[in-house]
Structure 1
Amino acid sequence: MNKISKRITLSVHFGIFIFIINLITTFITGVLMYLSFSIGILNERNIKSRMVLPVITLVSCILIGVIVSACSSRIVLKNVREFIEATEKLSRGDFSARLNIKRPPEFRILSKNFNAMAKELGGIEVLRTDFINNFSHEFKTPIISIKGFAEILKDDDLSKEEKNEYLDIIIEESKRLSSLATNVLNLSKIETQVILNDIQRFNIGEQIRQSILLLDSKFQSKNILLDINIEDCYVNGNKEMLNQVWVNLLDNAIKFNNKNGIVSVNMKKEEGNIFINITDTGLGITRESIPKIFDKFYQVDRSHSTNGNGLGLTIVKKIIELHGGTIECDSIVSKGTKFTIILPIEFNI
């Protein structure tokens, strides 16, 4: 109904515009004919032939119509030219281009949609630039570290302890590079995936418990207390992908938690959905940082003192969305962070 209304509005405006042009043309022609008779340019002697008056009237209408149409079309074409200039700026990569056409209503809608598109493209360009810069930094840092310590190892005067220490650093940096490459490949694969495949029915409660057992040594290394309230529930989904979600979120809950801290995992079913909360009592996240934590390569710890490359939560969010679910984060600095995941029990492809 709304689309039909818009089409009718455009047709009415176009009809009124043509009518006004014809009215102006007729009026000016009538005035000129009247003046011509009044001052004697045209008289009964000049128009004895029946065809003279119609021909004069026709020629006058054509000339005046062309002039009126040319003048009035400049007003309409001004908006079109403005739109062309804006699209040319956009095509050159200038995403600051904006339109402010207010009439007719269809052009106002066109301006609004164009501005929204330009803003979105500008945001994508910023993300692309940030992605390249962050990836370059994350990739370059371990390579420089490996190169530096490899050169030091060429020194024959190093003790065995020093050599082992430097070799351990090289091994850790190599693992970091390997993790980065794996995460980038996973993210690339997931981002290009529109339809979820390898759907199977499995016990998601059991899967979360297995993820906790997998990270048991890390929990013990920081003497973290576990508070688990998980029930068995069967869902449809990609088992391997969802396993990445739990491992990643639990690993973050350990990594950013304090020694002797607490990690709580709660799960409940409600109205065809599963609600899963993973809460820690760690460092917390500032309010300004929360909207950015799912961005590629974004790290709350800007000093990069903790292991990670800022891709884990990006992958987590994409996997949850592929399953038709949502993920939210609530956090208080120095008190802890809570991630809430909502997944449909019966996922339809």
Structure 2
Amino acid sequence: MMNLLFPYRKYNYILKALGILLIITIISHIFRSSLDIINIALIHIIPVIVVAIHGKGKATFFMTILCVVLLNFLYIPPIYSFSVHNELYIWSFLIFGIVGWIITYQAKSISNQMKQNELRESLLHIISHDLRTPLSTIHGSINLILSNNELTETNKNNLLEDINYASIRMERLITNILDSTRLSSGNINLKLQWCDFEDIVGVALDEFSQKQSDEKVIVNIEETGLFWGDNTLLTQLVVNLLDNAFKYSSTNAKIDFEVIDCNNYIKIQVFNETEFIDEEKLKNIFDKFYRVEDTNDISGSGIGLAICKSIVKLHNGEIKAISQNNGILIEINLPVLKRAKLI
């Protein structure tokens, strides 16, 4: 029952306003002989304010109409009639509407300002934390190489690999920030060409350390033929999917990556074992800067999967996350818009 009601929780403020209106109406009706019509009109504006502070114009207009209609029907002569013989009805409607509009406008402005502040804080977090981590790795490894002449070639190579991987992480993070900005603004044109998913996945795996690619990822790519899409964006899609799986998979757990030909569409599936995440949180993981609770110790900007969603949408596809088998399965369906002709 709760699962059926959950999608309607976002309308709780309307139910609350209706409840307040009911209580106000009952009290006003009982004491109408003691209350002046102006006082009754003033308290009937409370439900309008309750709705207006949420910044929803249509809901505010609905509540305004409802309050004015009740006010006219129950208190403005001739009562129990919708006939209008008093200019108070017109004035009450105008005042209710103006007050509702002003509060709704201010609520929207405050909401937009809060979103901008959240965006600014998220970007500051990326710069101060997520960029600092690979920079510290690079700085520490270089200092160790320069200060220790007795390092073996193996140790030097390991440190150089750490430096290389940290620089790739920095490049990936900066690329994600730039891509997120471009995708959000809509200022991007697809460079469509014939793409080979084997090449795309191969290039994407090169973005990670050899140890990660070889030991953790199990890749299965069916013979899909060439796919008509943006090669650069599709590569970025696979990189972000793998990056997310590496970050949030359980220790020593394998990551399954599959590309399946389903005739009319290409299915991409990425599965990694992780702690249980309920369905409601999974719905939010594709939102920009959203991070699941209890993951603050894991470096990440929260924009990787949001970029994935944008890239999939640009290719007219669908993306979803499913909780199954002690892990998360991210599934993408990309429609095949045209097929390459064999010569």
- Does the TM-score normalized on the shorter chain lie above 0.5? yes
Check whether the contact 2:221–2:259 (CA below 8 A) recurs between aligned residues: yes
CA offset digits 1:306-336 (Å, max 9, x no partner)? 332111111110111111111000124x821
* Closer, same or farther: CA 298–84 of 1 in aligned 2, 3 Å: same
The Cα of 1:302 is off from its aligned counterpart by 4.3
Indicate yes or no: 2:326 matched with 1:335. Answer: yes
Matched position secondary structure for 1:292: coil
Check whether the contact 1:225–1:260 (CA below 8 A) recurs between aligned residues: no
Check whether the contact 1:273–1:345 (CA below 8 A) recurs between aligned residues: yes
* TM-score normalised per structure 1: 0.56
The one of 76, 81, 88 aligned to 2:90: 76
CA offset digits 1:32-76 (Å, max 9, x no partner)? xxxxxxxxxxxxxxxxxxxxxxxxxxxxxxxxxxxx98x534313
Indicate yes or no: 2:278 matched with 1:274. Answer: no
Q: For residue 94 of structure 1, what is the aligned residue in structure 2? A: 107
Indicate yes or no: 2:304 matched with 1:290. Answer: no
1:1-349 correspondence to structure 2 within 5 Å: 72-91=86-105, 93-95=106-108, 126-141=114-129, 160=148, 179-193=172-186, 196-204=189-197, 206-212=199-205, 215=208, 217-220=210-213, 223-224=215-216, 226-257=218-249, 258-270=251-263, 272-283=264-275, 285-300=277-292, 302-332=294-324, 335-346=326-337
Matched position secondary structure for 1:141: helix
Check whether the contact 1:218–1:254 (CA below 8 A) recurs between aligned residues: no
The Cα of 1:289 is off from its aligned counterpart by 2.5
The Cα of 1:229 is off from its aligned counterpart by 4.2
Check whether the contact 2:198–2:221 (CA below 8 A) recurs between aligned residues: no
Task: Name the aligned partner's letter for residue 329 of structure 2.
Answer: K
Check whether the contact 1:196–1:322 (CA below 8 A) recurs between aligned residues: no
Task: Name the aligned partner's letter for residue 343 of structure 1.
Answer: L
The Cα of 1:346 is off from its aligned counterpart by 0.7
Check whether the contact 2:248–2:274 (CA below 8 A) recurs between aligned residues: yes
Matched position secondary structure for 1:316: helix
Task: Name the aligned partner's letter for residue 94 of structure 1.
Answer: A
* TM-score normalised per structure 2: 0.57
In 1, Cα distance between equivalents of 2:101 and 2:116:
21
| CA root-mean-square deviation | 4.4
Unaligned runs of 5+ in 1: 1-67, 96-120, 153-158
Task: Name the aligned partner's letter for residue 198 of structure 1.
Answer: K
Check whether the contact 1:194–1:322 (CA below 8 A) recurs between aligned residues: no
The Cα of 1:213 is off from its aligned counterpart by 6.0
Q: What percent of counterpart residues are identical?
A: 23
CA offset digits 1:100-139 (Å, max 9, x no partner)? xxxxxxxxxxxxxxxxxxxxx7765554332222222222
The Cα of 1:216 is off from its aligned counterpart by 7.1
Unaligned runs of 5+ in 2: 1-82, 141-146, 150-155, 339-343
Check whether the contact 1:230–1:267 (CA below 8 A) recurs between aligned residues: yes
In 1, Cα distance between equivalents of 2:130 and 2:174:
12
Check whether the contact 2:321–2:330 (CA below 8 A) recurs between aligned residues: yes
In 2, Cα distance between equivalents of 1:320 and 1:183:
15
